[in-house]
Chains A and B, each alone.
Chain A
Amino acid sequence: MAEHPVPKIKLDYAFSVRIDFHERVVIDGPVRSRVYVPPSGGEIWGPRLQGKVVPYSGADYASNGLLNAHYMLQADDGAWIYIYNTGYIRRKDGKPVEVDDTKSDKEIDYYFRITPYFDAPFGPHEWLNRTVMVGTAKRYPNPDHTIFTYYAVL
């Protein structure tokens, strides 16, 4: 194995998605906790996709720090696109991520990285069905929203 050089990975900025949130519900169960955080709207901009987040088309059902978000997007040409976002969010100070974090103006440093998978119809957006992507996300309070920045893995 040592004879192979380590292959490099190149990333190419694809697009950004802003998602607005109104509700953040926690189900604190005996086995695990799970959230319900639906998008109330949002927009998509960038070189490879423009459009909007369909309000209340799904939610993040994250459990124990593992993101599990399912939404619908709609491109500017009207195409409906499914997104499944998984990844990790944690506070770099080691404290647990709390629902109230997004209500505070206090700057919190998170590790928030995601790997999205898409289903898009035949046509100009079908590259989304066969491209591995990686993203970073940043939360903003008042009003509560998150900006996801997605890179295509070339």
Chain B
Amino acid sequence: MAEQEPVPPIDLDFAFQIHIDFKERIRIAGPMRNNVWVPAAGGTIKGPKLNGKVVAYSGADYGGEFGLDAHYMLQADDGTYIYIHNMGYLYALNNPPGTRGTPEAGAAAVQEQGSQSFEAPSSKDVPMYFRITPYFNAPVGPHDWLTRTVFVGTGERFQNPDYTLFTYYEVL
């Protein structure tokens, strides 16, 4: 039986890091769910396999209570535009799901602040589970390996200034 075969291992190889700067964080606390609009205000890409920048205001994270659903454009150092779709989970370890709150909490916050703006804590202050699986679209050429490679990544939150550092590993 197949069950007796050894479990195939998975090897990861560090690919690059993306630092994304944030200014606006808007929460839509709807009757059924929370969604956010958190656009990328800019950023940089550094690493052995990709270098470049995050195109400012090219997209946003539109995710919900504890799921990421972010769409941005990147631009490699050679000028190539690359689309990234970041999916994954983000929540405080002591309170999953937590960092973006329930619809009730979101509605209460809006009531209290009179604003849909919210702040996201740093990983240092609030230990979190923040893991992502990105998918890319890149034109035919030196970056097209991104469109046929599975990646897994981790995110680390920072405050003052507000940014996130994503670290991506290629699944070999």
Contacts and interface: CB of A to CB of B under 8 A. Distances in A.
Majority SS at the chain A contact face: strand
Interface stretch (B3-11, B75-83, B101-109): B3-11
B72 interface: no
B2 to A, nearest CB: 5
Contacts, number: 85
A48 B166 CA distance: 28
A18 interface: yes
Contacts of A87: 150
Interface string B16-28: 0101000000000
Given A7-B167, A13-B7, A88 B89 contact: no
B10 A130 contact: no
A11 interface: yes
Interface residues of A, number: 35
A4 B2 contact: no
Nearest to A43: B3
B165 interface: yes
Contacts of B150: 87-88, 113-115, 134
A7 B47 CA distance: 13
A31 interface: no
A15 to B, nearest CB: 10
Interface in A57-80: 65-66
B131 A136 contact: no
A16 interface: yes
Q: Which 6 A-B pairs have the closest CB atoms?
A: A132-B131, A113-B150, A115-B133, A153-B131, A113-B171, A134-B152
24 contacts: A1-B17, A1-B19, A4-B156, A4-B165, A7-B156, A7-B167, A9-B152, A9-B154, A9-B169, A16-B7, A65-B148, A86-B135, A113-B171, A115-B152, A117-B87, A130-B97, A131-B131, A132-B133, A134-B171, A136-B171, A138-B8, A147-B5, A149-B8, A153-B152
Interface of B: 2-3, 5, 7-8, 10, 12, 14, 17, 19, 44, 46, 66, 87-89, 91, 96-97, 129, 131-133, 135, 148-150, 152-154, 156, 165, 167, 169, 171
